[in-house]
Chain A
Amino acid sequence: MTCSEVQRVLPEMMDGAPNNELQAHLEKCPACSDLVAELELISIEAHQLVESNEPSPRVWLAIAAELRSEGLIRDPEAKPGRPVLVPTERRRWNAWWLVPVAAALLVAASYVGMRKPATQIAEKPAVVAPANAPDLAAQSNQQKPAPQVAETKRPVPIDRSLDEPSVSAPVQVVSTEDRQFLDDVGQRSPRMKAEFESQLRAVNSYIRDAEAYLKQNPGDEDARQHVMAAYEQKAMLYQMALNHIQ
């Protein structure tokens, strides 16, 4: 076997069964022998490459947010038989889904409106309102007019006091609607208030994660959908609580 022949058969022989002819040539030819030894060394060392690289924390945040939006993560505090915070089925972002959401928003806003003087409502942002909810609800060919719940286009800042206790985290802009709603629920059903409060905490955390992700990825359509899904879940929570207490 010549050196040229060795070059030709090496791709097949390198990782395969030993070849007597090749072995005989390698024993006599230092150049080919060194070549084979070095190629084997590269292969062995490559297999030992340590996975020292670690993804940034935003990867897990994005995965968790997406799993929640698809209903693959369930609220651990949800009791069997009660509506869970996150739907169990994976949902696609369909316009028709926003119809009950828009209706829930209308109910919630009406409830809040009954409790407040008109001047306060005009001054404060409305309850959670996905920016496009009225438009999409209108597009779904419903007979009801688009609900006038969105006083502003921006989502309401989260009531940080409902989040996990954090000594270092400053309290952000307070949402009076959450607090007022909790008090009203508590007056009618103290047991319901505790459950609602824990679910509200979870959904506020979800909203915070989704908004943080959107802030890092402002051009990401999926990030925007996550935020809308998060607010959608908050609207569902309000509706469930309302159904229970009325």
Chain B
Amino acid sequence: MTDPKLAKTAEAEAIERAKQGDEAAFEVLYNLHKRRVYSLCLRMVSNPAQAEDLAQEAFLQLFRKVGTFRGESAFSTWLHRMTVNVVLMNLRKKGLPVVSLEETIETDEESPKKELGGPDLKLAGSLDRLQLQRAIEKLPPGYKTIFVLHDVEGFEHNEIATMVGCSIGNSKSQLHKARLKLRDYLKFMRAEKAEKQ
């Protein structure tokens, strides 16, 4: 496993060389972060070709501004935010909902009374991550955005609210609904799998 300190040093050196126009340095930075950037794009849009285009645009925007990077925040944080902005702008351009337009209204649909029969997720102790990835892909776009940003990528609600243009309360509500939907999807998948066995 790479020593984090060494990795940081290598990244810092690559940034300085990239400022001088060194192609190899750009490639080092690209290879260090390409998986994270691409994975984020892919989770948000669920289309590999589109995710590649967005990843490309995110890196280009970052590299164009590398000369202004002062090291006050982590390079990865900077890139992370830029990627999210690129994806959100793309979603807005296509007229896709970035955040669900639903109000924070309590409905019977989310009450435990409507639980699906089937295996208890908690008793299993862990989740099938492949199933979880598939379930995330099935989420409606608005729920998916908030869930990916918060639970997968680790942004706080105040950051999400700023990025997507909603209130903190709406962000929390959307996240909760996304998790409830995922719970339903996962129980359904698990029940299906149990029936086949």
Contact = CB atoms under 8 A, between A and B. Distances in A.
A55 B152 contact: no
A35 B112 contact: yes
Interface string A35-56: 1011101110111111111111
Interface majority SS (helix, strand, loop, mixed), chain A: helix
B152 A42 contact: no
A47 to B, nearest CB: 6
Contacts of A53: 35, 38-39, 42, 51
B136 interface: yes
Interface in B115-173: 115, 120-122, 126-127, 129, 132-133, 136, 147, 151-152, 154, 169, 172-173
Given A46-B147, A53-B42, A76-B22, A59 B183 contact: no
B38 A11 contact: no
A46 B152 contact: yes
A11 B52 contact: no
A48 B176 CA distance: 19
A54 B20 contact: no
Contact of A3 (B60, B104, B111, B179): B111
Given A4-B111, A55-B38, A59-B52, A43 B151 contact: yes
A76 B121 CA distance: 57
Contact of A67 (B23, B38, B122): B23
Nearest to A78: B21
Nearest to B127: A45
A46 B42 contact: no
A14 interface: yes
Interface stretch (B3-11, B26-34, B73-81, B92-100): B26-34
A58 B34 CA distance: 12
Interface residues of B, number: 50
Contacts of A76: 22-23
A53 B176 CA distance: 27
Contacts of A60: 27, 30, 34
Given A7-B110, A53-B35, A73 B172 contact: no
Question: Max chain A CB contacts within 10 Å: which of B55, B132, B169, B179?
Answer: B179
A63 interface: yes
A74 B52 CA distance: 25
Interface string B60-73: 10011000000000
Given A38-B121, A42-B183, A72 B64 contact: yes
B88 interface: no
B186 interface: yes
A64 B22 CA distance: 11
A177 interface: no
B106 interface: yes
Contact of B180 (A39, A52, A73): A39
Contacts of B64: 70, 72, 90
A146 interface: no
A41 B36 contact: no
Interface of B: 20-23, 26-27, 30, 34-36, 38-39, 42, 51-52, 55-56, 59-60, 63-64, 104, 106, 110-112, 115, 120-122, 126-127, 129, 132-133, 136, 147, 151-152, 154, 169, 172-173, 175-176, 179-180, 182-183, 186
Given A42-B186, A45-B127, A53-B42, 8 more contacts: A4-B111, A7-B106, A7-B111, A43-B151, A55-B51, A59-B52, A63-B30, A76-B22
22 contacts: A7-B106, A11-B172, A14-B176, A37-B122, A38-B122, A39-B176, A41-B122, A46-B147, A47-B154, A50-B129, A53-B39, A59-B52, A59-B55, A59-B56, A59-B59, A60-B27, A66-B60, A70-B64, A73-B21, A73-B26, A74-B22, A90-B64
> What are the nearest 6 A-B pairs in CB distance?
A74-B21, A11-B176, A51-B39, A46-B151, A51-B35, A55-B38
